[in-house]
Amino acid sequence: MKYTEEHEWLDDNEGVITVGITEHAATQLGDVVFVELPEVGATVTKGEEIVVIESVKAASDITAPLDGEIVEINEALADTPGLVNEDAEAAWFFKMTTTTPEEMDGLMDEDAYKEFID
């Protein structure tokens, strides 16, 4: 598992990367009430805002962690946004492939992320 400074987790399974937000981020957001996901097949650029999350407090974004393409989205989140608060590590947002797999190496591992949020 890899982590970004935007509080995303990335799980690389043979080139298909599953992306969610960390429990830390979910706690900060509070109760999630709305999630807007990207379209399957969309080409995304690192840093581009591709997911909108609205909590009871405010709206925020998830940006694409890498350049690539969206290959699957978690429809369950659109119906039940509270899944993010129940288990952030299980409530994935989308799966993507990337044209820049080498950038995965530059991301934080679990220990580095824990240090980052302390």
Partner 1 sequence: MTDDLMQLPLAALHAELGGKMVPFAGYAMPVQYPAGVMAEHLHTRDKAGLFDVSHMGQVVIRGSGAAAALEQVIPMNVQGLAEGRQRYGLLTLPGGGVADDLMFANRGDHLFVVVNGAMKRADMDILTAGLPDHEVTLLDDRALLALQGPSAEAVLESLVPGVAQMRFMDVRTLSWSGAELWISRSGYTGEDGYEISVPADHAEAFARALLAQDDVLPIGLGARDSLRLEAGMPLYGQDLTAEITPVEADLAWAIQKIRRTGGDRAGGFPGAEVILPQLDQGPARRRSGLLPQGRAPMRHGVTLFASETATDPVGEVTSGGFGPSVGSPVAMGYVPADCQAGTTLYGDVRGRRLPVTVTDLPFHTPRYKR
Q: Which residues bind partner 1 (CB under 8 A)?
A: 30-31, 33-34, 36, 52, 54, 56-59, 78, 81, 85
Rounded-to-integer distance, Cα 52 and Cα 64, Å: 12
Rounded-to-integer distance, Cα 84 and Cα 20, Å: 9
In a 10 Å sphere around its CB, with 0-12 CB exposed, 13-18 middle and 19+ buried, how is residue 86 labelled? exposed
The answer to whether the beta carbons of residues 24 and 43 sit under 8 Å apart is no
Nearer to partner 1, 34 or 116 (CB): 34
Q: Minimum Å distance from CB 33 to partner 1?
A: 4
Nearer to partner 1, 31 or 110 (CB): 31
Q: Minimum Å distance from CB 31 to partner 1?
A: 4
Rounded-to-integer distance, Cα 106 and Cα 81, Å: 30
Q: Minimum Å distance from CB 49 to partner 1?
A: 9
Nearer to partner 1, 18 or 85 (CB): 85
